Amino acid sequence: MPSLTTEEMQSFATRRGLGVLQSIEPGEGFWLNVASTVSLELQADKPFILKNTNLVRGWNLAATGEECTPSAFHRSLSATPPADDVVPNLIKTLWVWNHDTSKWYFYSPALEAQGGLGQDSPLVEYISRLGYLDFTQDHKTLGNGIGFWVNKR
């Protein structure tokens, strides 16, 4: 809606029960719907590291400046680091949209806890069966420029 005046934009949003975005805070993910490729410059002094306290119970559209796997991100949410063989139970699922394939990357700590992240694990079997994308297989990480949905317990 870049062609709308400030008043027109407010009216458009109000009629639909929406608000006009004023700012995006560190750690908040955002989704853009654009007609063509755009290039955005992120404005931050230093990378924002998302913490457990930044998330609410339920769905969060989030981002973190730390490059990490979904499993490592999940472990980082613990108040004290869990043992290497322990998978925390702080989130239900984590999702990243892949525009090029129009498919979702999927991660579930509950499925990881049943058999890890390896090729024959319940997580990989579930991902394959439902047609999702596998973070581990594709070497996909979270980090700058990657917004994700996370469902916190």
- Domain hosting 125: range is 52-152
Q: How far apart are CA 125 and CA 121, in angstroms?
A: 6
Q: Let me know if residue 25 belongs to a domain.
A: no
Query: Residue 28 carries which DSSP code?
Result: B
Question: 152 with 90: CB under 8 angstroms?
Answer: yes
Q: Is residue 79 part of a domain?
A: yes
Instruction: For residue range 123-153, list pLDDT tens digits in order.
Output: 999 999 999 999 999 999 999 889 899 999 9
Tokens of 93: 């699922």
Q: Is residue 59 part of a domain?
A: yes
Q: Which residue has the tokens 């317990």?
A: 153
- Asked, for residue 138, whether it belongs to a domain, the answer is yes
Task: Tell me how far apart the alpha carbons of residues 143 and 96 are, in angstroms, rounded to a whole number.
Answer: 11
Report yes or no on 47 lying in a domain: no
Q: What is the pLDDT of residues 64-109, one digit of tens each?
A: 988 999 999 999 999 888 888 889 889 999 999 999 999 999 999 9
Domains held by the chain: number: 1
